[in-house]
Amino acid sequence: MNSYQQRQEAVQRFLKGEHVTHIAIVFKKSRKWVHHWINQYNLRTDELSWFKDRSKAPKKNSSTLSIELEAQILQIRKELVNERMAQIGAISIQYQCELRGIKPIPSVWTINRLIKKHGLNTKPSGYKSPIEYPELFLHTHQLDLVGPRYIKGDGRYYSVNILDISSHTCFVEAVRTKASENILQAIASFWKIHGIPDALQMDNELAFRGSNRFPRSYGNVVRFALSLGVVVIFIPLGEPWRNGKIEQFNNTYQKKFVNTHTFKNLEDLSMQEQKFIQFHNSHHRYSAHGQKTPDQVKSLQLSPTYYNGTIHLPNLNPKIKIPLTEGNIFYIRFIRSDLKLHLANEVFIMKPELKYSYVVAIINIENQLLIIRQNDEIKEILHYPMTIKNK
């Protein structure tokens, strides 16, 4: 298998749900290599040759602009700034030059040089580009499911990893399967000890969502969070770095715990991981917190609301659904040139003005609405009927 085939196969494995670390091991590459080609696939999705190296040959576009062309570029920039929803970068300016028949079309580098020359390389006051990634909630927990991993002589297991991104407080729990009741038990345990967050953020793992067959029904992981007033956030498809802090923690978990221990069985692993949790939260220091440990950071924060274990116990029969009556589910998605918004197994076509930007698609349970938001501004509201089965 040549390098081109490796890149294509690695991305296909990721799209099918394989973890980045496992892919890296299979191809004997670094995690950085895997993430690089996932990024290339996402950024160059309209190109059939995304897996090929870009040419590093210098471009021969002239960097000398006539006075007339300079004036035209600056005028286009001014018009874009005054258009509230427009992007104002060099690529947008270049596109406008093409639309207006301006020749020769200046290169992106030349436009950027001109913008900097005239002191226009700072964003106008109050301007926010529609491509910027949305910031939603301050107190968020990130959730990830790591695995499968294997214990010699005992079989397969997964690890439910949770991180409070405001303090870097961690929690891990080894489980035998990806069943929702196992994930629920881990979340409930964490929230009993460290409190309930404003939001629970995760990737689009099926075990988190609930069902491909009934995409609007939702499983008990989502239902449990909503029942406690926690907003559920699903990060963009194919962008695992949006859960960056839990991904970094997963690396620490692998290097400092999994790779340094030999476990007899799952019970032994479960006992050892409790020591890892305690050591991490009391000893690991983070520059983001002024070299404080997670425990030190938490001691300075306001006391949260704790899960008391009396609402929708996670050891319920998995066939019995936690009641779903209210709450909000957030899907963060990047709208590409096809204008498609992907939610679980559903696709909605967005307005052209949302192309090449991040949107937040909010499913409001009680009103059965799908609300499309960009930069905190509502762009569209759609009826979203749900057949909610609570049994």
Print pLDDT tens along the chain (391 aa). 888 889 999 988 988 888 888 898 888 888 888 888 888 888 776 667 888 887 655 554 445 678 888 888 888 888 888 775 566 777 778 888 888 888 888 887 888 888 888 887 766 555 566 667 887 777 889 999 888 889 888 899 999 999 998 889 999 999 988 888 888 889 998 999 888 988 999 988 888 877 777 778 888 888 889 988 899 999 998 888 888 888 888 888 888 888 888 888 989 988 888 888 888 888 888 887 888 888 898 888 788 888 887 655 545 555 677 888 888 999 999 998 899 999 888 899 999 989 888 999 999 988 999 999 988 888 999 998 886 655 5
Tokens 């069943």 locate to: 179
CA dist., res. 72 & res. 347, Å (int)? 40
**How distant, in Å, are the alpha carbons of 3, 125, 223 from that of 121?**
39, 12, 46
Give the pLDDT of residue 102: 85
CA dist., res. 177 & res. 193, Å (int)? 24
Among residues 30, 127, 114, 108, which one has the least CA distance to residue 70? 114
Tokens 């258009």 locate to: 83
| Phi, psi of 197, deg, nearest 5 | -85, 180
> What single letter denotes the amino acid at residue 114?
L
CA dist., res. 326 & res. 50, Å (int)? 42
Number of residues that make up the chain: 391
Give the pLDDT of residue 314: 47
Q: Write the CB contacts of 65 (distance below 8 Å, at least 6 apart in sequence).
A: 73, 106, 110, 114
Pairing relation of β-strands 140-151 and 199-202? Answer: parallel
Among residues 80, 14, 15, which one has the least CA distance to residue 342? 15
> What single letter denotes the amino acid at residue 276?
F
Give the pLDDT of residue 55: 65
Q: Let me know: does 110 contact 65? Beta carbons within 8 Å.
A: yes
Q: Let me know: does 236 contact 332? Beta carbons within 8 Å.
A: yes
| The dihedral sign for the CA sequence 257, 259, 260, 264 | positive
CA dist., res. 93 & res. 107, Å (int)? 10
What is the chain's Cα-based Rg?
A: 24
CA dist., res. 101 & res. 97, Å (int)? 6
pTM: 0.64
> What single letter denotes the amino acid at residue 201?
Q
Q: How far apart are the first and last CA of the chain?
A: 50
CA dist., res. 274 & res. 254, Å (int)? 15
